[in-house]
């Protein structure tokens, strides 16, 4: 089953647009948008099952300028 997760990304430095472009290049990410508020970027990922989301979180943390990543997996009752 195709699962969805939202990744809330805050930045330490670098411009949000620059980091969002790098986030979009990560395999599994379907969209990344720059936001104004407590988080700087929201990224959306879709993949079969949820087992790949922790590894995707770690890949996002490796991007230069990323300070924190919070994964929010969508649960469908």
Locate the domains of the chain by residue range. Answer: 2-73
What is the rounded distance in angstroms from the CA atom of residue 17 to the CA atom of residue 15? 6
Query: What's the average model confidence in pLDDT over 6-24?
Result: 95
Domain 2-73 sits in CATH at 3.30.70.920
What letter would DSSP give residue 50? S
Provide the whole-model pTM.
0.93
Residue 58 CA to chain centroid, in angstroms?
10
Task: Tell me the pLDDT tens digit for each residue of 44-69.
Answer: 999 999 999 999 999 999 999 999 99
What is the rounded distance in angstroms from the CA atom of residue 33 to the CA atom of residue 5? 14
Task: Tell me the pLDDT tens digit for each residue of 22-47.
Answer: 999 999 999 999 999 999 999 999 99
């Amino acid at each position: 089953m195709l699962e969805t997760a939202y990744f809330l990304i805050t930045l330490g430095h670098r411009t949000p647009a620059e980091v969002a472009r790098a986030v979009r290049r990560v395999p599994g990410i379907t969209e990344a948008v720059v936001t104004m508020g407590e988080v700087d970027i929201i990224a959306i990922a879709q993949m079969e099952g949820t087992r790949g989301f922790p590894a995707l979180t770690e890949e996002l943390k490796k991007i230069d300028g990323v300070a924190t990543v919070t994964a929010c997996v969508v649960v469908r009752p």
